[in-house]
């Protein structure tokens, strides 16, 4: 890895902590029936009566098997119009969730989400699904057939996409998209991370994530550039995104040395074009080599690579300015 690219990564890492502190806080969300909005809350309290209340008491007492048997029979015998059924479905799913049977809980929450949209229980089920997704992305294995433990990252990402789709426009959808983007970046899937961060910056304009999303979409674009031997499109994207970030948040950009990053990107582009000219020299294509050397001099005249390009043109007996 070149010194220039290493320096860029160091600068990006320095900005990481402050932005993550701004973007990531421990929040929980519930759906408020009165305001019809998602709101923050540390605990969701839903009054329980009938079978749901009785089953919750059993679960609190550790009598999971008895509670699940009663709930299963009740849900089998009742229709979706039955009052109290949605509460029973939530308790039934919660029983698996509490015991870390996340695969089973996921199935039960999804059924509730499908059958009872726009209810308080629907909102709580989405929140529980989000917790399951986070656990699976953090490495918790999914139990299959009671004995097999499998990686469930793909299922987690599917859950997050579902939440974003079903809760579009609300805070939990924003958090779900951020979690996807963050996972992609941390696992080195920078192209997917860039797409997700860009969507977050473009589709959600709350101050909670917009600034960090713009920053990390830029960093993701930068990270997709594999080296000077490859296409420079990621460099161009990174330069554009960092410039947008600098223009929108000038003070923050100064603190995070964004001008320095932009300068290093320019140096990287100059180096790439200079090395392309050197390549054409090696294969004895002087006209093509001269084109790239002049391109470097014209676009990055203050750089060391421009000076080296002038020397190469001198060795070739070529003028710095193309003859007309």
pLDDT digits (tens, 9 = 90+) for 215-273: 999 999 999 998 888 889 999 999 999 999 999 999 999 999 999 999 999 999 999 99
Phi and psi (nearest 5°) for 215? -60, -50
Query: What are the residue ranges spanned by the domains of the chain?
Result: 44-167, 268-315
Residue 324 has pLDDT above 70, yes or no: no
> Does the CA dihedral 282-285-289-292 come out positive or negative?
negative
DSSP 196: H
Please identify which residue in the block is written with the tokens 């948040």.
249
Q: Which residues pair with 31 in a beta bridge?
A: 38
Instruction: Report which of 27, 26, 22 is spatially closest to residue 212, judged by C-alpha positions.
Output: 22
| Residue 24: Cβ within 10 Å count | 15
Q: Is the pLDDT of residue 18 over 50?
A: no
Position 125 pLDDT exceeds 50: yes
Tokens of 52: 């749901």
In DSSP terms, 29 is beta-bridged to 40
**Better pLDDT: 32 or 88:** 88
Quote the pLDDT of residue 46.
54
Q: 210 — phi, psi (to 5°)?
A: -60, -50
Is domain 44-167 given the CATH code 1.25.40.10 in the classification?
yes
pLDDT value for 41:
45
Q: What is the pTM of this model?
A: 0.79
Closest CA to 97 of 51, 32, 44, 176: 44
The Cα 59–Cα 104 span in angstroms is 16
Would you state the pLDDT for residue 168? 77
pLDDT score of 36 more than 70:
no
Crossing angle (nearest 10°) for helices 102-115 and 120-137: 150
Strand ranges in the chain using DSSP code E only, listed in sequence order: 29-32, 37-40, 142-144, 148-150
The answer to whether the CB of 61 falls within 8 A of the CB of 98 is no
**42-46, 155-159, 229-233, 275-279: the lowest-pLDDT one:** 42-46
Question: How far is Cα 34 from Cα 170, in angstroms, rounded to an integer?
Answer: 15
- Collapsing DSSP states into helix, strand and coil, what is residue 128? helix
């Amino acid at each position: 890895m070149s010194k220039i690219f290493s320096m860029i990564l160091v600068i990006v890492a320095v900005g990481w902590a402050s932005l993550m502190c701004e973007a990531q806080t421990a929040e929980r969300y519930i759906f408020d029936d009165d305001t019809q909005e998602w709101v923050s809350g540390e605990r969701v309290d839903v009054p329980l009566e009938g079978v749901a209340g009785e089953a919750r008491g059993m679960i609190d007492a550790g009598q999971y098997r008895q509670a699940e048997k009663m709930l299963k029979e009740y849900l089998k015998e009742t229709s979706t119009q039955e009052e109290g059924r949605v509460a029973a479905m939530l308790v039934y799913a919660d029983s698996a969730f509490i015991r870390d049977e996340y695969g089973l809980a996921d199935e039960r929450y999804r059924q509730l989400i499908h059958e009872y949209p726009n209810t308080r229980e629907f909102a709580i089920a989405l929140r529980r699904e989000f917790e399951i997704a986070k656990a699976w992305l953090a490495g918790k294995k999914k139990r299959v057939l009671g004995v097999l433990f499998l990686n469930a990252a793909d299922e987690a990402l599917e859950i997050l996409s579902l939440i974003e789709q079903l809760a579009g426009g609300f805070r939990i959808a924003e958090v779900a998209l951020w979690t996807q983007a963050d996972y992609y970046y941390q696992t080195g899937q920078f192209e997917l991370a860039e797409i997700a961060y860009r969507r977050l910056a473009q589709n959600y304009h709350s101050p909670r994530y917009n600034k960090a999303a713009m920053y990390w979409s830029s960093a993701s674009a930068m990270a997709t550039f594999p080296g000077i031997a490859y296409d420079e499109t990621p460099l161009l994207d990174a330069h554009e995104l960092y410039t947008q970030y600098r223009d929108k948040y000038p003070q923050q950009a100064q603190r995070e040395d964004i001008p320095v990053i932009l300068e290093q990107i320019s140096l990287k582009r100059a180096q790439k074009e200079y090395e392309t000219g050197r390549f054409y020299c090696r294969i004895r294509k002087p006209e093509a080599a001269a084109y790239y050397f002049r391109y470097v001099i014209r676009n990055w005249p203050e750089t060391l690579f421009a000076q080296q390009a002038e020397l190469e043109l001198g060795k070739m007996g070529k003028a710095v300015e193309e003859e007309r």
